[in-house]
Structure 1
Amino acid sequence: MKEMLYEYLVTRSGEINIFKSIEILIVALLLAAIVFWTYKFTFSGVLYNRKFNVSLIMLTLITTMVMIVIGSDIALSLGMVGALSIVRFRTAIKDPRDTAYIFWCIGIGLSVGTQNYMVALVGSIFLAIVLIAFSFGSFGAEDRYLLIIRGERRCESEVMSYLFKQFKGAQLRGKNSTDQTMEMIYQVSLKNDQQKMLLDTFYQIEGIQSVNLVAQNGETIG
Structure 2
Amino acid sequence: MKETLYEYLVTRSGEVNLFEAFEILIIALLLSMVVFWTYKFTFSGVLYNRKFNVSLVMLTLVTTMVMIVIKSDISLSLGMVGALSIVRFRTAIKDPRDTAYIFWCIGIGLCAGTQNYAIALMGSIFLATVLILFSFGKFGVENRYLLIIRGENRCEQEVMSYLFKQFKGAQLRGKNTTTQSIEMVYQITLKNEAQQTMLDQFYRIEGVQSVNIVAQNGETIG
> Structure 1 residue runs of 4+, over 6 Å off?
none
| Count of aligned positions | 210
Q: Does 1:63 align with 2:63?
A: yes
Corresponding residue number in structure 1 for 2:7: none
Q: Which moved more, 1:152-161 or 1:22-31?
A: 152-161
Corresponding residue number in structure 2 for 1:77: 77
- Contact 1:213 1:221 (8 Å CA) reproduced: yes
Deviation at 1:188, TM superposition (A): 2.9
Corresponding residue number in structure 1 for 2:45: 45
Measured in 2, the distance between the counterparts of 1:167 and 1:114 equals 57
Change (3 A) 1:167 1:198: farther
Root-mean-square deviation (CA, aligned residues, Å) is: 2.3
- SS of equivalent to 2:90: coil
Deviation at 1:140, TM superposition (A): 8.3
Corresponding residue number in structure 2 for 1:103: 103
Corresponding residue number in structure 1 for 2:25: 25
**Deviation digits for residues 138-188 of structure 1 (CA, Å, limit 9, x no counterpart):** 458443322110112112123234445524352413x33332221222233
Corresponding residue number in structure 1 for 2:169: 168
- Contact 2:13 2:73 (8 Å CA) reproduced: no
Q: Give the letter for the 1:170 counterpart.
A: Q
Measured in 1, the distance between the counterparts of 2:151 and 2:76 equals 68
Q: Does 1:112 align with 2:104?
A: no
Q: Give the letter for the 1:172 counterpart.
A: R
**Deviation digits for residues 30-87 of structure 1 (CA, Å, limit 9, x no counterpart):** 1111111111121111111111111101100011011111114333322211110101
Measured in 2, the distance between the counterparts of 1:193 and 1:101 equals 32
Corresponding residue number in structure 1 for 2:125: 125
- SS of equivalent to 2:145: strand
- Contact 1:25 1:64 (8 Å CA) reproduced: yes
Normalising by structure 2, we get a TM-score of 0.84
- Contact 2:144 2:188 (8 Å CA) reproduced: yes
Gaps of 5+ in 2: 1-11
Measured in 2, the distance between the counterparts of 1:139 and 1:202 equals 30
- Contact 1:142 1:191 (8 Å CA) reproduced: no
Identity between Structure 1 and Structure 2 (%): 77
Change (3 A) 1:57 1:141: closer
- Contact 1:214 1:221 (8 Å CA) reproduced: yes
Q: Give the letter for the 2:90 counterpart.
A: R
Measured in 2, the distance between the counterparts of 1:73 and 1:67 equals 10
- SS of equivalent to 2:94: coil
Gaps of 5+ in 1: 1-11
- SS of equivalent to 1:39: helix
Measured in 1, the distance between the counterparts of 2:107 and 2:215 equals 31
